[in-house]
Amino acid sequence: MSSIDVPLRNGGFGNTMRKDSWWVEPLLVFCGFAAFIVYSTWAALQGNHYTFGPYLSPFYSPLLMTEKPGWWPAFVPFSAAMLILWAPGGFRFTCYYYRGAYYKAFWADPPSCAVGEPRKSYWGERSFPLIIQNIHRYFLYLALVFIVILALDAYRAMWFDGHFGMGVGTLVMIVNPILLGCYTLGCHSLRHLVGGRLDEMSKKPARKQAYDCVSCLNRKHMLWAWLSLFWVGFTDVYVRMCSMGIFHDVRIF
Amino acid sequence: MATATFRIWRGDASGGDFKTYTTEVESGMVVLDVVHRIQATQANDLAVRWNCKAGKCGSCSAEINGRPRLMCMTRLNELDLSQPVTVEPMHTFPRMKDLVTDVSWNYKVKTKIKKFAPRKPDAPDGTWRMAQADVDRVQEFRKCIECYLCQDVCHVLREHHMHDQFIGPRFLVYTAAMEMNPLDTADRIGDLRDSCGIGYCNITKCCTKVCPEEIKITDNAIIPLKERVVDEFYDPLQRIFKIFR
**ipTM at complex level:** 0.93
Domain that holds residue A66: 24-243
Angle at CA of residue A23, ends A22 and A26, nearest 5°? 110
Residue of B95, B140, B203 to mutate, interface with A, max A Cβ within 10 Å: B203
DSSP B220: I
Q: How far from the centroid of its chain's Cα atoms is residue B244's Cα? A: 41
Strands B15-25 and B2-12, bridge-based pairing: antiparallel
Stretch B182-211: mean pLDDT: 97
Nearest CB among B105, B205, B229 relative to A4 is that of: B105
DSSP B92: S
Residue of A113, A201, A220 to mutate, interface with B, max B Cβ within 10 Å: A113
pLDDT digits (tens, 9 = 90+) for A56-78: 999 999 999 988 888 988 888 89
In-domain check, residue A72? yes
Chain A residues close to B234, C-beta within 8 Å: 131, 134-135
pLDDT at res. A177 = 98
Interface of A with B in 166-195 (CB under 8 A): 188-189, 191-193
Q: Is the per-residue pLDDT at B1 higher than 80?
A: no
Strand-pairing partners, residue B61, are: B70
Q: List the one residue out of A74, A40, A46 whose CA is nearest residue A59.
A: A40
Query: Could you tell me which chain B residue has the CA closest to the CA of A220?
Result: B219
In-domain check, residue A12? no
Three-state secondary structure of chain A: CCCCCCCCCCCCCCCCCCCCCCCHHHHHHHHHHHHHHHHHHHHHHHCCCCEECCEECHHHCCCCCCCCCCCCCCCCCCCHHHHHCHHHHHHHHCCHHHHHHHHHHCCCCCCCCCCCCCCCCCCCCCCCCHHHHHHHHHHHHHHHHHHHHHHHHHHHCCEECCEECCEHHHHHHHHHHHHHHHHHCCCHHHHHHHHHCCCCHHHCHHHHHHHHHHHHHHCCHHHHHHHHHHHHHHHHHHHHHHHCCCCCCCECC
Interface of A with B in 95-154 (CB under 8 A): 96, 99-100, 103-104, 109-110, 113-114, 116-117, 120-122, 124-127, 130-131, 134-137
pLDDT at res. A12 = 86
Sign of the four-CA dihedral B14, B18, B21, B26: positive
What is the pTM assigned to this prediction?
0.94
Q: List the one residue out of B138, B235, B232 whose CA is nearest residue A136.
A: B235
In-domain check, residue A133? yes
**Confidence label for B183 from pLDDT (cuts 50, 70 and 90):** very high
Q: How far is B142 from chain A (nearest CA, A)?
A: 16
CB-based contact B159 A122, cutoff 8 Å: yes
Nearest CB among A4, A10, A136 relative to B159 is that of: A10
Using DSSP's 3-state secondary structure scheme, residue B130 falls into coil
Sign of the four-CA dihedral B149, B63, B8, B163: negative
pLDDT at res. A140 = 98
pLDDT at res. A7 = 58
Instruction: Answer whether B174's CB lies under 8 Å from B141's CB.
Output: yes
In-domain check, residue A250? no
Query: Consecutive sets of 10 residues in chain A, 253 residues long: mean pLDDT of each?
Result: 60 90 97 98 95 96 90 90 95 98 96 95 93 96 98 97 95 98 98 96 96 98 98 98 96 91
CB-based contact A120 B160, cutoff 8 Å: yes
Q: Is the per-residue pLDDT at B117 higher than 80?
A: yes
In-domain check, residue A2? no
Burial B140-178 (b: 16+ CB within 10 A, else e): bbeebbbbbbbbbbbbbbbbbbbbebbbbbbbbbbbbbb
Angle at CA of residue B128, ends B119 and B192, nearest 5°? 40
Instruction: Label residue A128 exposed, middle or buried (CB < 10 Å: 0-12, 13-18, 19+).
Output: exposed
State chain B's mean pLDDT as an integer: 96
Helix (H) or strand (E) holding B10: strand B2-12
Nearest CB among A1, A100, A191 relative to B163 is that of: A1
* Count of domains observed in chain A: 1
Q: How far is A110 from chain B (nearest CA, A)?
A: 7
In-domain check, residue A223? yes
In-domain check, residue A224? yes
In-domain check, residue A14? no
CB-based contact B63 A114, cutoff 8 Å: yes
Chain A residues close to B108, C-beta within 8 Å: 2
Query: Could you tell me which chain B residue has the CA closest to the CA of A100?
Result: B204
Q: What are phi and psi of A167, to 5 degrees?
A: -115, 175
A207 shares contact with chain B (CB less than 8 Å): no
| CB-defined contacts A:B, below 8 A | 161
Nearest CB among A16, A124, A197 relative to B228 is that of: A197
Instruction: Answer whether B140's CB lies under 8 Å from A208's CB.
Output: no
Stretch B13-37: mean pLDDT: 96
Nearest CB among B93, B167, B209 relative to A1 is that of: B167
